[in-house]
Structure 1
Amino acid sequence: MGTNSQSTTIMGTQDDVPAPAQLNEDTAVCIVSVKGLKENWQKWSDERQEYQKHNPFSHDTRPSAVVPLKEHDDYGRPLQGSMTEQRGKDAHTHISREVQELCEVIRNIGEPRDSDAGGSSSDGKVIAVEFGKLFEHYVTISNKLVGILLRARKQRLVNFEGEMLWQGKDDHVVITLLQ
């Protein structure tokens, strides 16, 4: 019964809380924790409600919700300094490293060939490798070769024929390193 009366006292009003001399160590920690939890929850709740007022996709249909305009530079971008923005920057850095690593692998296993009209080399030679050979070598490095190749082509670092490369079917497609 003694435990129940203490818990009733803790849940009561501030006036009902006994003096610190009457509390044991566990009870005092419990009061601070519950009060801290309540304050933290209220703070989070207030911040979330304020955020939802400005979120155009929430069900909160207050006229204060600002709808982003497509003409603005930040349209479709995460808020400056947000965790989402940081994750995007980290992902971009990671993918850029993988593209550079792919170019290095092509330099190492590729063969010099005469450049077609699109080559960037001044002596008319470019480094090229067949997709099948690159796939066999690169499979030990990463399982995302085709996606990285597409990204590298978008950045104009490599060139190859076709929209997509398929293992087996496109093994003889030549991939040319442009830079």
Structure 2
Amino acid sequence: MMGTNSKIPVAMETEDEVQEPAQLSDDTATCIVSVKGLKENWQKWSSEQQEYQKNNPFSHDSRLSVLVPQRGQYDYGRPPQGSRTEQRGKDAHKHISREVQELCEVIRNIGEPPDTIVTGSRNTGNVTSVTFGKLFEHYVTISNKLVGILLRARKQGLVEFEGEMLWQRKDDHVVITLVQ
């Protein structure tokens, strides 16, 4: 609570007599303009929030103004276009794509033709392979997400390996082949 000595300029208005800001002191006019601006900003935010809640499928507002996408439609399970959520998803996709490309480059650099790994003989083929153990030893200093990136690269058809999941030490002998 404010002390008794502090004075706040207040403009007294009645229906008959409304003072214009020019008639008030500068401090009082600033106070009225600031409060009016705050009120307008609050109303604007309130209106935007109400409109957002009408479009929010999880809102308890039963007057949805937009149809909620159904399973199988293009928009189902996707963020609204132009939203920050959509932008974060796009940024994450770009980041993961860069990591997959980096993984493929590491395999090209440390890998050998697949026959060399299995039989010890040289093959001048177009394909490069590396064991999971060797890849893990080289890649561990680059990223701690090697297995997840390998799964993503396999989903994109860039690498092939046996099994669903690769485990350190248990699957060190598994051959990972870079598909070119």
Tell me which interval the TM-score lies in, with the shorter structure as reference length: 0.7 to 0.9
Q: Which residue of 2 aligns with 1:118?
A: none
Q: Which residue of 1 aligns with 2:7?
A: 4
Partners of 1:168 and 1:21 lie apart in 2 by 81
Unpaired stretches in structure 2, ≥5 consecutive residues: 117-123
CA contact (8 A) 2:114 2:177 kept: no
C-alpha spacing 1:114/1:22, structure 2 compared with 1 (3 Å): same
Q: Which residue of 2 aligns with 1:42?
A: 43
* Structural RMSD (CA): 2.7
CA contact (8 A) 2:53 2:61 kept: yes
Partners of 1:160 and 1:21 lie apart in 2 by 80
TM-score (normalised: structure 1): 0.79
1:113: Cα distance to partner? Answer: 2.2
CA contact (8 A) 1:126 1:177 kept: yes
Q: Which residue of 1 aligns with 2:26?
A: 23
Q: Which residue of 1 aligns with 2:109?
A: 108
Q: Judging by fraction of residues, say which structure has more helix.
A: 1
C-alpha spacing 1:108/1:39, structure 2 compared with 1 (3 Å): same
Unpaired stretches in structure 1, ≥5 consecutive residues: 116-122
Q: Which residue of 2 aligns with 1:158?
A: 159
Deviations 1:45-94 (A, max 9, x none): 11111121222221112264523222422111111111111111111111
C-alpha spacing 1:73/1:13, structure 2 compared with 1 (3 Å): farther
1:3: Cα distance to partner? Answer: 3.5
Number of residue pairs matched? 167
2:82 maps to 1:81: yes
Partners of 1:81 and 1:63 lie apart in 2 by 20
1:125: Cα distance to partner? Answer: 4.3
TM-score (normalised: structure 2): 0.79
1:172: Cα distance to partner? Answer: 1.4
1:106: Cα distance to partner? Answer: 0.4
C-alpha spacing 1:13/1:87, structure 2 compared with 1 (3 Å): farther
1:16: Cα distance to partner? Answer: 6.1
Partners of 2:84 and 2:78 lie apart in 1 by 12
Deviations 1:107-127 (A, max 9, x none): 001111249xxxxxxx74421
CA contact (8 A) 2:22 2:29 kept: no
C-alpha spacing 1:151/1:19, structure 2 compared with 1 (3 Å): same
Between the aligned residues of both structures, percent identity stands at 72
Q: SS state of the match for residue 114, structure 2?
A: strand
Q: Which residue of 1 aligns with 2:98?
A: 97
C-alpha spacing 1:124/1:64, structure 2 compared with 1 (3 Å): same
Q: Which residue of 2 aligns with 1:173?
A: 174
1:140: Cα distance to partner? Answer: 1.2
CA contact (8 A) 2:113 2:125 kept: no
